[in-house]
Amino acid sequence: MTRRLNRLAAIVGVGASKFGTFEDKLGRELFADAFLEMMNSIDRGINIKDIEAFYLGSAAPLSFEGQAHLAPIIADQVGLANRPATRVEGACASGGLALREGIIAIASGLYDIVLVGGVEKMTNLPTSEVTDVLAAFSDTPYESRVGITFPGAYALMATAYRHKYGLTDEQLMAVTIKNHQNGALNPKAQFNCSISDIMISRLAKIKEKGQPVPDWSSEMDFLKDLQANPVIAWPLKLFDCSPITDGAACVLLVAEHLAKSFTETPVYVIGSGQASDYSLHGRKDLTTLDGAKEAAHQAYDMAGVRPEDIRMAEVHDCFTIAEIIATEDLGFFRQGEGGRAAEQGLTARHGTKPVNPSGGLKAKGHPVGASGVAQVVEVWQQMRGEAGARQINRDVHLALTHNVGAHGATCVVHIYERR
């Protein structure tokens, strides 16, 4: 059965903090940066008093910064105390879930103007403790307990994928190289640099220290060197993994009839889908996320569009294998062909199906609860032609976001149209 929203939500403003490592900032302060940028992005402005409700995606603020009950604290930080403020949690899909709750709240008729945000302040903890927090997004007594980390869970999928479809290291590396090329053009990105930039800076340091100079003649050479790119969870190496990041993002949603009073070019959310899935050992096929396929099906069906209609997508590339699987689950490429598509450049910024022009989670950074909202920030900029140096060179009137919690136990897909 095709499900419809009683009325659509339109995005009329977006904002994001810089992504990276910010020792001296709390999550709420990063959120305030994103909020101020969002307020300034609304073409015809808004009175803050008109914002009626707030949905916040944040995955584990209690573990990461010792702060539970984050939504009212953030609401207060940006001047929205007294409004309903609700935190939504779905691991790394928390941001996407918050967006969906905002859309549903508007569709229900309860509110006309809703703030949706996401935030995570991850870098207070040492890597070993971050590893434990992220591992707990999987099934703790049956998966994390035997030693499966978060990269480990995606590595299990990558190994299964290699076995079934013959995935090569070069195909994974093509995703890394492409996303870093895009990140190099994104001033908000944690890695605002290409793999080549990283390689050159490493070479300079090595020469400075008088150490033996490695024989790297290309980005692939660099990525194939296990000294430069060590194994994290085989077959995944350091540069297959998104980084640990602090960051925040937010968007303002309004009921469709109000959209044009805020801007001449709103972006409407025309499709929304969400699904959950079993733990990895409960799945028949480890080379695809059934939850993502189901969420995508719901979103396409609601929007009345097909995968081939989508002009660009921000997908959940927490690991390179995740992007390859995502492009198949979303119907952009047939199963088993996502790796080749990446290698052929089809997902590059000026390819036939641009994926992660923002740099993706890989280069832009992955503040887990914020990522699902930050994807929307990129979509908005690309659809309005405001993406600067990384602007896709053809009109983007239809776009998609794909946000995944843990190893696919939560999946959210949204489709956007500029009207």
The footprint of other proteins (CB under 8 A) covers: 127-129, 131-132, 135, 139, 141-149, 151-152, 155-160, 163, 230-236, 279-282, 286
**Candidates 180, 241, 250, 366; catalytic one:** 366
Specify the residue, 44 or 163, whose C-beta has the smaller distance to other proteins. Answer: 163
d(CA 353, CA 398): 12
Specify the residue, 132 or 170, whose C-beta has the smaller distance to other proteins. Answer: 132
Specify the residue, 22 or 150, whose C-beta has the smaller distance to other proteins. Answer: 150
d(CA 223, CA 235): 13
CB of 29 to other proteins, least distance (A): 29
Q: In what order do the strands lie in the sheet with 398-405?
A: 85-88, 53-57, 113-121, 246-255, 9-16, 267-276, 410-418, 398-405, 312-314
Active site residue 350: no
Q: Are strands 246-255 and 398-405 parallel, antiparallel or unpaired?
A: unpaired
Specify the residue, 70 or 236, whose C-beta has the smaller distance to other proteins. Answer: 236
Residue burial 162-175, b: 16+ Cβ < 10 Å; e: rest: beebebebebbbbb
- SS3 assignment, position 357: coil
Q: Tokens 């992504």 label which residue?
A: 19
d(CA 81, CA 102): 18
Specify the residue, 124 or 196, whose C-beta has the smaller distance to other proteins. Answer: 124
CB of 373 to other proteins, least distance (A): 27
CB of 369 to other proteins, least distance (A): 21
CB of 171 to other proteins, least distance (A): 17
Residue 118: beta bridge partners? Answer: 57, 249
Residue 114: beta bridge partners? Answer: 53, 253
CB of 13 to other proteins, least distance (A): 39
**Candidates 92, 193, 241, 411; catalytic one:** 92
The helix (H) or strand (E) run that includes residue 11 is strand 9-16
Active site residue 366: yes
d(CA 106, CA 267): 15
- Residues carrying an active site annotation: 92, 366
